Structure 1
Amino acid sequence: MLRCLRVLPARVTRNFSRCCSNYVARMRFINKLKEDEGACLTALESGNIFLYHTLAPLLRKTQQGVFQLPLLPFKDLEGILNRLGKDGSMVKDSVLITCTEQNRALFCLDVGELDQQAVEKECGGNFVDLRKAFFTLRGEEAPLVARGQALLRWHQGNGFCSASGKPTTRNQAGSQRVCHSNGLIYYPKMSPVIITLVSDGKRCLLARQASFPRGMFSALAGFCDMGETLEETLRREVAEEVGLEVVSVRYSGSQHWPFPQSSFMVACHATVSPGNTQVDVDHEELEEARWFTLEEIRAALKLRTPPRNPRDQPPTIWVPPSYAIAHKLIREWVDDQELHYDGE
């Protein structure tokens, strides 16, 4: 029986000490599952699994037109696999993702070796490209499917030891892989990326790559070089991509980002001197970069879905959707601007 995902953050109306106690218990439970093979298998057998097919998550559309992440109990998925001619024990290859507030473990499994349409028919859903899934899922589900895909992709790409060349073996939770020939342990990794919204005090700078959907602009971003601090990366990327020198930096937040592989986005606000705002775009990195006024950004934020933007017409400017931390940076900038104007 398919179930809808319900992984909820601690409610702010709860008693704070109780909220913290629940969180600590959950974190210790998850850590136990990573370290105890038997406990993890028991949790899998009583838990729920969501599916991927070649890294595309399975979604189900409700009668109300809302897309949800369907969950399969262990026994139900075993039965589905058996009906599709696959050994039901394949479900034990599931990777631990998290657990609910009731300590019910959540796992994910890629069934890419099975016929896609047959799985979709059995499960009553469709496998959807991850980028498209982000536009249709609720807030708490989007990061969950991103995390699942990142872990599954990591396992698919780390089946052999880089030192010995021999196969690695994963633990039951899927939180590590081991080369038994030399004892090396491999853990999933993320690549640190700085993403920054640059402002001159009254305008913000947005840019687009040629690969972006037509009309979409976002904050500047770049990978950290070996040995760099986050501040050094930010200043270097802004200088390289748009020819501007940053004078101040303010941290905003962070986000796991599954594109192109598994990135760790560190979001910041940066300012440049009002007298140093001439943009010099590196066209090997960017297709375009320009300053936007508060009114232009407000208009872009009003768009809830990507505009059609026909090729024969000037594109409507839009920004990344709400699940992206770039969207958070842009909204924070708007809030700061409005607060500044109100205070004048």
Structure 2
Amino acid sequence: MVDPETVTFGGSGLDRAAELRGDDDAIAEAISTGRAACTLIWRGKPLVAEGTQDRLIRLPMDHPILAEATMSLLLGRNETGDLLFAHDISDWTPAGVDEDALNKFLDTSEQQHPALPGAIFVELRRIMTRLDARDAELAATARAVINWHVSHRFCACCGAESRPVQAGWQRSCDACGGQHFPRTDPVVIMLITRGNSVLMGRSPGWPEGMYSLLAGFVEPGETIEAAVRREVYEEAGIRVGPVGYLASQPWAFPSSLMIGCRGTALTQDLTIDPSEIEDARWFAREEILRAFAGLHPTLAPARQGAIAHFLLRNWLADINY
């Protein structure tokens, strides 16, 4: 298998500068001496170059747009030692925005702030394969942590409103002293094979013909291997034997860590749970090859950039995968 960290959103080697998160003086010095820059997030969408949409826009820390920011997050430090932040300007409301379209599975809308010519806010899933590894990791991190702040404003211990601390990596409750940290939900995604075939399913509302690998959340008190076997049986009625780890992917939609596993099916007959998925089927290796080549009459390939696409592509490349 190729390097598992070449999966989208992984492998950039970002120095997250965690030791600086509580050092307000060091952060202030970096900003005052021009050794810091920022990128912007609007309702989960990163700010990218208009036209190519292949790179995050970095702004100076004294840019006037930052007056509209509701919070700041230290993302890390680049190779020259400069700091990079993300600022959230989600309180801005563009003229004519379609609220129903925002951040949907196929959100094609773009937003341009009048103070930011040459740059647009775009749904990250649309452009994740255009960004290089570093920008993809930065965008995913910013989206996940900022979304966590939006959904966790109030203390889980006493209900009082908490505040961001540690350069955005923590929330502190002044009322009871509670400390809260960004959550990441573990999700198993499974390459389940039987002979020359792989098991795939689809959820309601997906584009016509699109199937992907089965996936589900790991429950409390459960191992990764047990989660794989439980989810596959719940969704498709298939019993799974040996399970192994393949690769992982941060998935900021909204805050998951996708844990890619392989498993060997012990049974073949499918029993679909319609409350879990719309359909599931066994697909032969040759069918997946045709789908990836755009030649299958009905099957669309898994979304490029998602770990399902990564796992399937590597399975196609290695008969002993």
Normalised-by-shorter TM-score class: 0.7 to 0.9
What is the SS of the residue equivalent to 1:67?
A: coil
Change (3 A) 1:191 1:114: same
Aligned positions of 1:133-152 closer than 5 A: 133-134=127-128, 136-152=130-146
Contact 1:202-1:293 at 8 Å conserved across structures: yes
Question: How many angstroms does 1:270 deviate by?
Answer: 0.5
- Provide the residue aligned with 1:113 in structure 2: 91
Structure 1 residue 296 and structure 2 residue 287: aligned?
Answer: yes
Gaps of 5+ in 2: 1-9, 96-110
Instruction: Mark the structure with the bigger radius of gyration.
Output: 1
- CA–CA distance in structure 1, aligned partners of residues 273 and 31 of structure 2: 50
Q: Which amino acid aligns with 1:99?
A: R
Contact 1:41-1:172 at 8 Å conserved across structures: no
Question: How many angstroms does 1:172 deviate by?
Answer: 4.9
- CA–CA distance in structure 1, aligned partners of residues 208 and 12 of structure 2: 35
Q: Deviations over 1:133-161 (max 9, x none)?
A: 32543444333212111111111122221
What is the SS of the residue equivalent to 2:291?
A: helix
- Provide the residue aligned with 2:28 in structure 1: 41
Aligned positions of 1:80-159 closer than 5 A: 80-81=65-66, 88=67, 93-116=71-94, 120-123=113-116, 124-134=118-128, 136-159=130-153
- Provide the residue aligned with 1:231 in structure 2: 225
Question: How many angstroms does 1:255 deviate by?
Answer: 1.3
- Provide the residue aligned with 1:329 in structure 2: 311
- Provide the residue aligned with 2:178 in structure 1: 184
Structure 1 residue 194 and structure 2 residue 188: aligned?
Answer: yes
- CA–CA distance in structure 2, aligned partners of residues 258 and 188 of structure 1: 12
More helix per residue: 1 or 2? 1
- CA–CA distance in structure 1, aligned partners of residues 206 and 137 of structure 2: 21
- Provide the residue aligned with 1:214 in structure 2: 208
Q: 2:256 aligns with which of 246, 249, 263?
A: 263
Count of residue correspondences: 294
Q: Which amino acid aligns with 2:301?
A: W
Contact 1:243-1:280 at 8 Å conserved across structures: yes
Cα RMSD of the aligned pairs, angstroms, is: 2.6
Q: Which amino acid aligns with 1:210?
A: P
Question: How many angstroms does 1:39 deviate by?
Answer: 1.6
Question: How many angstroms does 1:221 deviate by?
Answer: 0.3
Question: How many angstroms does 1:215 deviate by?
Answer: 1.8
Contact 2:140-2:252 at 8 Å conserved across structures: yes
- Superposition misfits of 4+ residues, deviation over 6 angstroms: none
What is the SS of the residue equivalent to 1:282?
A: coil
Contact 2:211-2:299 at 8 Å conserved across structures: no
Return the TM-score normalized by structure 1.
0.78
Contact 2:216-2:231 at 8 Å conserved across structures: yes
Return the structure number with greater relative CO, CA threshold 8 A, min gap 6: 2
Q: Deviations over 1:281-339 (max 9, x none)?
A: 11221111111112111122235xxx9x9xxxx64421121x211122112211231x5
What is the SS of the residue equivalent to 1:238?
A: helix
Change (3 A) 1:116 1:92: closer
What is the SS of the residue equivalent to 1:269?
A: strand
Gaps of 5+ in 1: 1-6, 11-22, 82-87
- Provide the residue aligned with 1:84 in structure 2: none
Q: 1:54 aligns with which of 43, 62, 66?
A: 43
Change (3 A) 1:172 1:316: same
Return the TM-score normalized by structure 2.
0.83
Contact 1:48-1:106 at 8 Å conserved across structures: yes
Question: How many angstroms does 1:242 deviate by?
Answer: 0.8
- CA–CA distance in structure 2, aligned partners of residues 153 and 255 of structure 1: 18
